[in-house]
Structures are given as C-alpha cells and as structure tokens.
Amino acid sequence: MESLSLKKDFPVFDQNDIAYLDTAATSLTPRSVIGKLTDYYNNYSANVHRGVYRLSHEATELYNATREATARFINAEFEEIVFTRGASSALNLVAFGYGLSNLNPGDEIIISELEHHSNFLPWQQVAKKTGAKVVYVPLSEEGRIEVEAFASVLNENTKIVALTHVSNVMGYITPIKAITELAHSQNAVVCVDAAQSAPHLQIDVKEIDCDFLAFSSHKMLGPKGLGVLYGKKKRLENMEPVEYGGDMVETASKDGSTWQAPPLKFETGTPPIASVVAFFEALRYLQNIGFVALKEHEQRLKKYVLDAFSNIESVKVYNPTSETGMVTFNIEGVHPHDVVTVLDEDNIALRAGHHCAQPLMQWLGVVATLRASFYVYNTLEDCDRLIESVKKAVTFFKEAGL
Amino acid sequence: MESLSLKKDFPVFDQNDIAYLDTAATSLTPRSVIGKLTDYYNNYSANVHRGVYRLSHEATELYNATREATARFINAEFEEIVFTRGASSALNLVAFGYGLSNLNPGDEIIISELEHHSNFLPWQQVAKKTGAKVVYVPLSEEGRIEVEAFASVLNENTKIVALTHVSNVMGYITPIKAITELAHSQNAVVCVDAAQSAPHLQIDVKEIDCDFLAFSSHKMLGPKGLGVLYGKKKRLENMEPVEYGGDMVETASKDGSTWQAPPLKFETGTPPIASVVAFFEALRYLQNIGFVALKEHEQRLKKYVLDAFSNIESVKVYNPTSETGMVTFNIEGVHPHDVVTVLDEDNIALRAGHHCAQPLMQWLGVVATLRASFYVYNTLEDCDRLIESVKKAVTFFKEAGL
Amino acid sequence: MNRLENLYRKIIMDHYKNPRNKGLTDDTRYKQEHIKNPSCGDDVTIQSFVEDGVVKDIRHDGSGCSICCSSASVLSVLLKDRPVKEALAFSENYTKMIANQPYDETLEFEDALAYQGVRKFPARTKCATIAWKAFESTVKVEDNDE
Amino acid sequence: MNRLENLYRKIIMDHYKNPRNKGLTDDTRYKQEHIKNPSCGDDVTIQSFVEDGVVKDIRHDGSGCSICCSSASVLSVLLKDRPVKEALAFSENYTKMIANQPYDETLEFEDALAYQGVRKFPARTKCATIAWKAFESTVKVEDNDE
Ligand SMILES: Cc1ncc(COP(=O)(O)O)c(C=O)c1O
Ligand SMILES: Cc1ncc(COP(=O)(O)O)c(C=O)c1O
C-alpha cells in the first residue's frame, strides 16, 4: 500500500502536520465520506421510510443501500443489520434486549478482563438485574483469551458469551470461531465486540457463526455517531426492543401495540440518516484497499516501532506479540499523561489513559498506558516521529529527575 | 422575514425546484450547519473527552460549546443537557431511566391521544412493566389538551405527566406551564415532548418548570441523528442510566462500578461528535431569525393556505385554529397517499400518513391525513404551488370518479 | 396520456371503487395474511383457499390508497382457479415487472398490466405489490421448519 | 526556557517526587473529597481539617500525572493555617489564573505560581486544578439543602 498516496485522501492532514496514532479511539475521515455526507445534506436532507415524495424516497434508497453494503461487508443479510448510535449502544441492545429477558438466577455470562467498558458494564448490570453471574475467561500470561481457558469456564449454565474480537488495548485477536463452536455446543449465545476488528480484519459472520456482532462506523473511516449490530435473523426476531416509538411500531393503539419486523423494530425515531448514507463510502474505501494489504501495512509499521522501542531502555511494551497494529507501552517511572504532552508538542496524537478498560489496567497492574494505533493513513515517517519523540520524553523526564 | 433571501441558505434548493412542506418530519439543513459539519471532519475528526492531545482537546471544546449553547437556548444549565440519538431516544431515556424505577402498581401516568408514538409507546411499555396505569387527558372537541381536562384526570396517584408541547399533527400548543404547576401540586414529574415546539417557539425551562424536556436537532435545521434531553439537575442525578459503557463510568471494576455525574452518565460511547458540533450553527441560525419573526412568518403562510383551502369544497382541514404553522387536511374521498403523488409530480414535498400518531388518527376517525408544515425557508410561492396542486388533485380524482 | 393518467388507469379506479371479492370469511380452510405498510398506513389482508393444488378462492379486505386496494381486487379475480404454482409465478413476475426487473415477458398479465404505470413512480411500487406479497404468503408452503 | 521546561518546573517535579502531607487519616474531623478525572484517570483525594474557621491541616492521596499529584502537595503546604475564606479565595484565583481568566493579581501565589506554564497547555489545565477543586469541596459549607 502506498501510504503517502493515501494521506492525501484525509483532509485533516491539509491543515495539520500531525502523526495521528489514535485510530483505536476514532479514525480520521476520508474526503469521499465527508463528500457523501454533504451530498446528502445538499441534495436531500429529507427523512426516510415514511415520505412518499421523491426526496424522501431517494433518501430511503440511499439509507437501504448502506444497510445492504454493511450486510455484504460482513457476509450477513439485509434484515440482520441494525443501525445504532455506536458499538456501545449495539452491545447494550444485546444485553438489555436479549440478555435481560433470557437470563435467570444461576445462569452464567462469560466475558473477559480484556473487555472494553462497553462490553463489560452492560453485562455486569444485566447480571445484577437477573441474578446471573459474570464469569471471566482466565487470561493467558500474555493477556490473551485462549480456547482452552475458555473451555475451562464454559459449562451448561453458560447462557451468553460476550467477548471482544480484538482487544482495544492489547490488539490480540480472539479465536472467536473456535470459541463460538464450543459455546454453541452448550447452547450459549455468542456476542462479539468487533469494534476493533471490523476496521482491520475481514469478518464473515456466517463463518464465525456468532449470534451477535457489534461495531462502530467512526473507527473505520465512517461518520461519528453510528454503530452496527449484526444479529442472526432468528435472534433478532426473538429479541425485545429497548426503545419504543415512531418507525419501530406496526400498530399502535391504546389497547396494545405490535412491532415491525427487524431491523426496523430496533431503530425507533429518525435515524442518523446522513451518517448511514455516508458510511457506504467508508466501506467502499476499505474494500478498495483490501484487508490483506491493510494488515500487511499495519504490521510493517508496528514492527518498525517495536524494533526501535526495544532499543530504548525505559520503554516497556505490554503487547509485543499482538497480531494487529497497536503498540501499548509506558515509559517506566513517568505517568503516560506527562509523556503524551511531550508527544503532543511534536504533533503526535496518541492516547494516554485506561482506554475504557479499567479491569485490564488492574490486570496489568498499571494505572494507565500509552497506546499507538496504526491505520491506512499512517506512514513510516509517523513511526519515526513517534520514536524520536519518545526518546526525547525519556531524556526530558530523566533530566527532570524521574 | 425576507423569505426569499433565506431560501438561498439551503442548498437543497440549488438542485431542486421544490416546495418543501415536510419540516414537521425533518427540516432542511442550512449551509452554515453543513459547513460546520465538514469543518469538524476536515480539521479535527478526533474523539472527545479522553484525548489529551490538541485535536481531541479542541474537539471536546467544540462539543462542550454546543452543550452550553443548547442550555442557553432553553434557559437551562450546562449539566442539564444530555445528547441523545433523537427525541425518541430522549423520551425513552426518561421512561426507562426515570419511570421504570419510580413507578409502582396503581400509579398513574398521564399522557394524551395527541402523543407521537415516541411519547406514547415508551410509557405504555413502562406501565406494562411496572403495573402503573396510562391515563389519557380527554381531548377537547377540537382535539386540544386543556388545563381543566388535565385537572380532571390528575390525582394523588399521578406520578408522571408526559405530554406533547406542540402536537405534530394538529399543531396545537399545550398550556404546559399551567399543567406543570398543577402536576407539581400533586408531586408528579412532568416530561415534555418538545420535538415540535423547540423548532418554533422560545422555550424557557425555568419558566415552564418541567422536569424533563426532549427535542430533536434534525427538526430545527440541525444534523440528523441527534436529540436533546433536558433534565433538572436533581432529576438527572437521581436517574438511572439506560446504557452502560465507556465514558459514562467513573470506576469500573469486577466488584462494582460507579457512574459519572450527569450529563456524561447518560452518554456512553463515542457520541455523534460532528452532529453535536454542527448543531451549534443551527441554534445560532434560529436565534438570528428570532422566534417572534419566525412565528409571524409561519402564521402568515398558514393563514394564506387556510383561506385558499376554505374555498375548495372537498378539502377538509382538521386543525383550522392551530397556533403553529401546520395544516393537516384531506381531500374527501381520496386517500392521502394518492393525493401526495399528484403533489409530488409538482415537486411539492408533503407528508401523507399517520404521522406516527395512530391513536390520534383513531380519535380523528381517519386512516391517514396530509400535513403541510411551514418553516423558515418557505414562501408564499410555496403556498401557491400547494394550493394549485391540491386543486389539480381534486379535479383529477373527481374526473377519475372518486 | 400523462404520467398521472398512466398511473391511475380506468381499470384501477374501477377496481378501487367497485372491489371484487371484498370482505373476509371465517371459513378456516382459507389461509390468511395481513400486511401493513408502515410507510403509509396501507393495511391489507388476503385470504386464499387452496384445494388440490388449485387456488379456489381469494378474499381481501383492508384500507389504503387506490393502487393498493385495487390491486387486491385485481389479483383476487386474476389468480382465482389457477394452479398454485402458476399463481405464484404470476405474482412473482408481476412484482418483478413493477420493480423494473427482468420478468417472463410471455406471460399474459391481463388487467394487472394496468399497473405498468407504477414503474415510473418508485415511491408507489410498494402500494402496487403489497397485496400480492400477502397473497404469496397465503399459498406458500412453510418450507422453513427449523 | 522552552514550553516543556516551563510546564515541568523544578518545584513541580520536586513536589511530585517528594510529596508533602501525603497519606490519608482516619480522623473523622477531616472532611474528605475524592475526584476522578475520567479523561485521563487522575484520581485525587483531599482531606482537610478546619477549626475555628482556619484550615489546620490538609492531607492528600491518589494517583495521576506529575501536574496533578504535585499540585495536591503544593496546596497542602500553601493553604495550611489560612482562614477558610482566604484559602478559598486563593484556590479560586489560582483556578482562574490557570484558566486564563481575570484574577486578583495582587495575590501572592508563592509556589503555586510555578503552574503558570500550564496556561499554554489547555489540555492539561484540568490536571492542575483537580486537587484544588477537591480542596474547595472539603471546606465549602453545604449551602444547598433543598
Ligand atoms: C411530537 C414528536 N415527538 C417525537 C418525535 C420523534 O423525534 P425523532 O424522530 O427525532 O426521534 C417527533 C418526530 O417525528 C415528533 O413530531
Ligand atoms: C473494543 C471496543 N468496544 C467498544 C467500543 C465502544 O465503541 P463506541 O465508543 O463507538 O460506542 C470501543 C471503542 O472505544 C472499543 O474499542
């Protein structure tokens, strides 16, 4: 992949000489996506579903085209794609739409300490409300979810398995297909948090065979404020809505109401139409690059940084073996928040914090970490800038006595 | 208000010679709002809240600036403004965050047959789940919510009053301040559906004194996919979140978790940052026009259409006395869906249907209606086009034998 | 003939004003399907009675626009006494025709041909096909028994 | 002095490495406030003991960056033995100074002046003020008793 030729697709770089290494939080947005957004507002701006006039009908067609493209992107069906406000909302929808009405005291929900808060707290709450129990897959020494460890906590009480596909801190890939197969052998339902995998890996829900899968548009070049919940048709049909109102209802009357079929059943109110319409271009952009080329590119950058970091004595990397483009590290003795300010002075955008993964921070025994994540627009030059700046930070804080 | 000079602010008209009369469904979007959207994506695209680097910090400042502006717009405080996916989500948040945990069997929820499905179904569900009872304010002969009728159903069992501020079909203004005062005298909590009032009337939540108030960005020139829930500080503090995950949590641990203070408590996950940032411009645009001038403008258009309609024998108007810019009507003997196709041929965008208000359709005894709604960009010429086209439809279907 | 006249053909308006086979029966030998089109409130119920692989009778009821209601009436006449397979093929080809997709052009659409005008009104194709969809459900054998 | 050196002044790093008055007490006469900054994980607890309108002692604990932790230490030294009113005014003016808002320029900020460098780093102003906010809560009388 010619990295430098992609950078020009992202207008943020027109204004900012920045090394943007925070894609795991949110990605930058290519011109084509922004163009589609403005195109919708400039030419339609109309509502979907209900308008019989031309503008509204055409807006509906565009909206549905993205649903179709999203389905194809993960090898699902049109009706299996629900648009939500984000991955967080999608995961909450599974927990409260499916979990709440299907869990009983004594049932078990398997999650892990790798989970993002958005795939941890909803289950913690649902467990509290239903009397079910949250069970954690013991992580490997490296911090991975492995099949054997998963098998050791799976049993006939397991009703739901909710695991991250790629950890947003460690970047490890969960062996989710094997796990799903095992889970299904105990009739447990599998919910996959794909927020960090959908942007980087080819996903095939038919192959994984998971029941639910959630991800966010804004981490994969799409607009902010949009997420996707994939659910197997049967699952969605049997799932309760969690929001009620316009568009999700079939018959509304004082005596009782009936719902639309999925996916509309789960999309009450006027949706983020423009964002949905523009997400189409994000999917297209990614597909044009191709996940094989993308992975190779990310790996190259990651390896380059890791090699350099291994020569800086006080840099500790937490995930050297990770399969995805994410380097999580600290400068020993220096709080990551202090480090990030030094990097920011060099126009390097990097995340310092707990990355919405406090249980993992507790597991790692740190308060916070730095995390550099790579994507389509990053270059070896970005890596050089990061490496130089980290070296500078090491020297600076050593001189400051830390 | 110089209507013609406003039309040029809306790029939809560059491409379409359209009389857009469907603002009650969703408004068109002015250039300044679209500009701010693209500005965010072009120059930031970064996440809010958690980034310590410059882009993210500045994005957070922009995000907060809109929260502040929204608060000022309705005379609320910064912490009292929660951003949601739309008015529907905001109303569901009140029903499930506040209602579900505060209602008991025998308690009563007062709503009305004027409610949009989004302020009806959530309460119907919450009533079902809690054993509370939904009570309807008897509508006046015209279909209005009046104070005396409200008083007749209010009693010491009333725990929640959830009413529309302006009906999305009739356009009537509910005397919400007097109702709130009465409701509070019985310690009932008042939730106002302001989806159709916030775009057209000056709202002062301190004056109304309601506990909750919900509206949508996309009906008031702002981006799609964004809503606002105002809640009195104390109410929000005592309210349960309905979605759990990143950004809403303070401490997340296996043993239990604590939440952020409002409003973050209710905004899990990456929010629709670009839409929030751009909503600022919508508020500014409306404030520049001013609600007095806007109302006058809308009234003028409405009266003009009403006068003309009163001379077309087979046109039946359902809301001749409404105080806002909305004309709801039918051509007798012709299904509105058929009428709307004739209008569409003349490039008039109008809504035909039940307007997500099936209980009201039942009350009116019709299956559906047409609805023309006026806003800043409409002109007398739009009205002329509507009138002519309706006449044409009358003739056409008469000739067709209806 | 202008676009509107081409949409609202005489035959359509006639079936709208004078629907044939309207009104539902309690006869339990009829299979029933109710479809509601949320986008406009069209609401159609179709009942069909199949015996020996032949559609013996079709009833309908509901409320909706002229395109929707008339097409229920039209199909109740056209598909009656046809073998199920043939009726289904008719219905499916009709739907494709309306959606501007390739269809069996050798087929005699008879009165249903009047709905060709709908093809120019994509916002109305649903109206013209919803009753047919409902009909299809009433005669399709449940092959999905998972 | 470059921007970074101006931010990470010696005095700040000294308080970070050698915090004064660190560690909490069980003494119930102390009022306590715990604040967490979710954006970065800074976590500060301040305890203060007020007697006769005077801040007699301040304790602190927590984890966070150098700016945050050091400022807890600095304030515990600076505000001790001041009348509550004066301590509050100090704290409020300090916060304004950091936020680039008008403040009482006649005030002697002493060691707290070292934090002026933060003004050039808007993303870090929270770090420099969070401990002070916590302190304010510990000495403010609850005037909100609705
Ligand atoms: C009165 C009223 N309430 C609620 C809503 C729901 O708003 P949204 O679709 O933005 O969620 C609408 C809009 O259709 C409305 O008119
Ligand atoms: C693994 C994982 N899950 C869930 C989320 C939540 O996504 P969003 O913030 O878009 O709701 C994120 C993003 O922070 C994530 O990295």
Contact A81, A211 (CB under 8 A): no
Residues from chain A that touch C36, judged by Cβ atoms under 8 A, are: 250-251
Within-domain flag for B358: yes
- Residues A207, A195 share a domain: yes
Task: Confirm or reject contact between C122 and chain A (CB < 8 A).
Answer: yes
Among B25, B112, B87, which residue's Cα sits nearest to residue B360? Answer: B112
Please tell me the distance from the alpha carbon of residue B93 to that of residue B106, in angstroms, as a whole number. 22
Q: How far is the CA of C4 from the centre of ligand 2 (A)?
A: 50
A336-369 per-position pLDDT tens digit: 999 999 999 999 999 999 999 999 999 999 999 9
Q: What is the number of domains present in chain A?
A: 2
Q: The domain that contains B160 carries what CATH number?
A: 3.40.640.10
Task: Confirm or reject contact between C145 and chain A (CB < 8 A).
Answer: no
pLDDT, position B15: 86
Q: How far is the CA of B159 from the centre of ligand 2 (A)?
A: 37
B249-307 per-position pLDDT tens digit: 988 999 989 999 999 999 999 999 999 999 999 999 999 999 999 999 999 999 999 99
User: C57: domain range?
Assistant: 3-145
Ligand 2 close to Cβ of residue A330 (< 6 A): no
For B51, the 3-state DSSP assignment is: coil
CB atoms B354 and C41 under 8 Å: yes
- Residues B156, B178 share a domain: yes
- Residues B331, B265 share a domain: no
- Residues A253, A295 share a domain: no
Within-domain flag for B93: yes
For A331, the 3-state DSSP assignment is: strand
- Residues B334, B243 share a domain: no
Please tell me the distance from the alpha carbon of residue B173 to that of residue B354, in angstroms, as a whole number. 20
* pLDDT interval class at A167 (50, 70, 90): very high
pLDDT, position B2: 53
Mean pLDDT of A394-402: 93
Ligand 1: lining residues by beta carbon, under 6 Å: A 246, 269-270; B 86-88, 116, 118-119, 164, 168, 193, 195-196, 216, 218, 227, 356
Q: What is the CA radius of gyration of chain C?
A: 15
Task: Point out the ligand nearest to the CA of residue A247.
Answer: 1
- Residues A99, A243 share a domain: yes
* pLDDT interval class at A331 (50, 70, 90): very high
Q: The domain that contains C26 carries what CATH number?
A: 3.90.1010.10
- Residues B393, B256 share a domain: no
Mean pLDDT of B364-380: 96
* pLDDT interval class at B1 (50, 70, 90): low
D60 DSSP β-pair partners: D22, D46
Please tell me the distance from the alpha carbon of residue D11 to that of residue D74, in angstroms, as a whole number. 9
Residue at a domain's end among B254, B287, B320: B287
At residue B366, does pLDDT exceed 90?
yes
Burial class (CB in 10 A: 0-12, 13-18, 19+), D104: exposed
CA A154 to each of CA A89, A111, A184, A188: distance values in angstroms, whole numbers, following the listed order: 26, 11, 10, 9
Would you say the C-alpha torsion A108, A109, A111, A115 has a positive or negative sign? negative
Percentage, residues of chain B above pLDDT 70: 99
Q: Which residue has the CA at smallest separation from atom 15 of ligand 2?
A: A195
Q: The domain that contains A332 carries what CATH number?
A: 3.90.1150.10
CB atoms A52 and C123 under 8 Å: yes
Which pTM does this prediction carry? 0.95
- Residues A149, A66 share a domain: yes
A249-293 per-position pLDDT tens digit: 988 999 989 999 999 999 999 999 999 999 999 999 999 999 999
Burial class (CB in 10 A: 0-12, 13-18, 19+), A395: exposed
- Residues A218, A76 share a domain: yes
| For A339, nearest residue in chain D (alpha carbons) | D65
Per DSSP, A47 falls in state: -
* pLDDT interval class at B346 (50, 70, 90): very high
* Closest Cα in chain B, distance from residue A62 (Å): 15
Task: Confirm or reject contact between C1 and chain B (CB < 8 A).
Answer: no
Ligand 2 close to Cβ of residue B50 (< 6 A): no
E strands along A77-137, which residues? 81-84, 108-112, 133-137
At residue A50, does pLDDT exceed 80?
no
B155-192 per-position pLDDT tens digit: 999 999 999 999 999 999 999 999 999 999 999 999 99
* Helix axes of A336-345 and A380-399: crossing angle, nearest 10 degrees: 120
B235: tokens are 């109410």
Ligand 2 close to Cβ of residue A145 (< 6 A): no
* pLDDT interval class at D36 (50, 70, 90): confident
Q: What is the number of domains present in chain D?
A: 1
CB atoms B400 and C8 under 8 Å: yes
- Residues B353, B241 share a domain: no
* pLDDT interval class at B50 (50, 70, 90): confident
At residue D144, does pLDDT exceed 60?
no
| For B36, nearest residue in chain A (alpha carbons) | A38
pLDDT, position C70: 97
- Residues B300, B277 share a domain: no
Mean pLDDT of D23-45: 89
At residue D18, does pLDDT exceed 60?
yes
Please tell me the distance from the alpha carbon of residue B312 to that of residue B308, in angstroms, as a whole number. 7
At residue C144, does pLDDT exceed 70?
no
CB atoms D66 and A345 under 8 Å: no
Mean pLDDT of B314-326: 96
Bond preceding residue D83 cis, omega within 30 of 0 = no
Residues from chain D that touch B77, judged by Cβ atoms under 8 A, are: none
C56 DSSP β-pair partners: none
Counting as contact any 3 or more CB pairs under 8 A, the partners of C are A, B
E strands along B260-333, which residues? 315-317, 326-331
User: A267: domain range?
Assistant: 33-287
Mark out chain B residues that contact chain D at CB-CB < 8 A: 49-54, 56-57, 61, 234, 247, 249-251, 260, 264
- Residues A283, A214 share a domain: yes
Residue at a domain's end among A287, A319, A349: A287
Burial class (CB in 10 A: 0-12, 13-18, 19+), A105: exposed
Residues from chain B that touch C7, judged by Cβ atoms under 8 A, are: 341
CB atoms B362 and A244 under 8 Å: no
Task: Confirm or reject contact between B365 and chain A (CB < 8 A).
Answer: no
Mean pLDDT of B319-344: 96
Residues 135-154, chain B, touching A (beta carbon < 8 A): 136
Residue at a domain's end among B287, B319, B342: B287
Within-domain flag for B75: yes
